[in-house]
Amino acid sequence: MIAFLPQEYEEFRLKIRRFCETTLEKNAMRWDEEEEFPYDSLKAMAEEGILGLGIPEDFGGAGTNRLKLVIAIEEVARVDPNSAFIMEVESLFDATILLFGNEEQKRILKDVAQGKKIGTFALTEPTGGTDVAGIKSIAKKENGRYLLYGSKYFITNALVASYFIVFAKTSPELKGKGITAFLVEKGTENFKVGPKIHLTGFRGAAIAGLQYNGAPVGPENIIGKENEGIKVAMSVLERGRVNISALALGMLQRVYEESVRFANYRKSMENPIVNYQFIQNYLTDMLTDLEASRLMVYNTAMLIDKNMQVGLNAAATKLFVSEALMRHVKNGVEIMGGYGYTRGTVMERLARDAHNTTLSLGTSEAMRLVLSRYLKS
């Protein structure tokens, strides 16, 4: 329990946890093993109001309380990291439309909140993702519309999405200052999705590439203003980093629970291994980082709720929590030995999923670079 949180947040957590344990957990391993997109999970989360978190009630959502959103992502990730990852990426789509979209674009959020439509955020390209200004996609202006040329890669939800936020250069001569964000609908001419990308973790997230060779979009498809796409991307990515941190936090909570359970159950020389000091050291370090991670995630979410600048906090939080998860999932596997390295176990799935949290929305190295800029200001 966090001392400074009102009771309503703890009650909200318990409500989400009960839902996750009774509805999501029973299918989580199957979705991973079969690389199946969890449609049933999204439908259930929509009915529970979870997908509507981050979307105003005026647009069919459950409100824009960021702290509730990260608590929900944390609790979903504790039992089903794959569904939490899908939810986290969809929240990037929601935030982009809310912060920069026009009224017509915002109307689609109702279908997203209800799970009828899925949106995704397409920034990363085959040549890289961290260098936003270096994207190769272009949008040529022709006869009052734009023709998109290029490709994207590692796009979560791509195979099932109805809407794509695609970043392309409208003024290549301006480099990073010439990028524009476009809303592209599934079925747009010359806009193709695929092939499916098979990752080691988050195997049910419908990840794929995009190819577009003259895909037409109108000026009404621009999100924000022409040539202000980098502003759109960076604003959304900053806020998104607290969400991926919440996902890592939920996974770290489960790593800790699985490790403690096994250490109390497993015996060596008729003695539970939790009684051995080196196991205790693993577990106490996990608990310490878990408590620190939760405080960092919640603090950053509350700063967003207060409309404060979060660039430093978001980068520091993502760096700390994702790397803490990587350290401790390795130790969790060590505690469980062969059981932690066996397909079909929770710890093995967590170990595969964990590495993505240090890569998505900026690598650990990129987060250190972001933080280093604050040292000079």
Whole-structure pTM value: 0.96
Strand partners, 167: 181
Q: Domain containing 144 — which CATH number?
A: 2.40.110.10
Question: Are residues 333 and 279 located together in one domain of the fold?
Answer: yes
Question: Are residues 104 and 179 located together in one domain of the fold?
Answer: no
Nearest C-alpha neighbor of 167 from the set 155, 189, 182, 151: 182
Question: Are residues 197 and 253 located together in one domain of the fold?
Answer: no
Say what angle helices 346-354 and 229-265 make with each other, to 10 degrees.
Answer: 150
List pLDDT tens digits, range 182-225.
Answer: 999 999 999 999 999 999 999 999 999 999 999 999 999 999 99
pLDDT band of residue 142 (cuts 50, 70, 90) is: very high
* Number of domains observed in the structure of the chain: 3
Of 79, 113, 147, which residue sits at a domain end? 113
292 contacts 326 by C-beta, under 8 angstroms = no
Write down the pLDDT at residue 269: 86
125 contacts 151 by C-beta, under 8 angstroms = yes
pLDDT band of residue 294 (cuts 50, 70, 90) is: very high
Instruction: Give the CA distances from residue 150 to residues 127, 142, 245, in Å, rounded to whole numbers and listed in that order.
Output: 11, 16, 30
Write down the pLDDT at residue 1: 62
Domain assignment present for residue 346? The answer is yes
Structure tokens at 66: 């960021």
Instruction: Give the CA distances from residue 37 to residues 28, 34, 43, 334, 347, in Å, rounded to whole numbers and listed in that order.
Output: 10, 9, 12, 30, 21
Residues 339 and 335: their CA atoms lie apart, in Å, by 9
Question: Are residues 367 and 240 located together in one domain of the fold?
Answer: yes
List pLDDT tens digits, range 41-96.
Answer: 999 999 999 999 999 999 999 999 999 999 999 999 999 999 999 999 999 999 99
Of 113, 138, 162, which residue sits at a domain end? 113
Q: Which residue has the tokens 């502003």?
A: 231
Question: Are residues 30 and 59 located together in one domain of the fold?
Answer: yes
Residue 204's domain comprises: 119-229
199 contacts 146 by C-beta, under 8 angstroms = no
Question: Are residues 145 and 156 located together in one domain of the fold?
Answer: yes
Question: Are residues 340 and 369 located together in one domain of the fold?
Answer: yes
Question: Are residues 334 and 265 located together in one domain of the fold?
Answer: yes
pLDDT band of residue 5 (cuts 50, 70, 90) is: confident
Question: Are residues 156 and 140 located together in one domain of the fold?
Answer: yes
List pLDDT tens digits, range 308-348.
Answer: 999 999 999 999 999 999 999 999 999 999 999 999 999 99
List pLDDT tens digits, range 238-269.
Answer: 999 999 999 999 999 999 999 999 999 988 88
Residue 174: how many CB atoms within 10 A of its CB? 13
Q: Is 342 exposed, middle or buried (0-12, 13-18, 19+ CB in 10 A)?
A: exposed
Domain assignment present for residue 264? The answer is yes
Question: Are residues 69 and 190 located together in one domain of the fold?
Answer: no
Question: Are residues 234 and 224 located together in one domain of the fold?
Answer: no
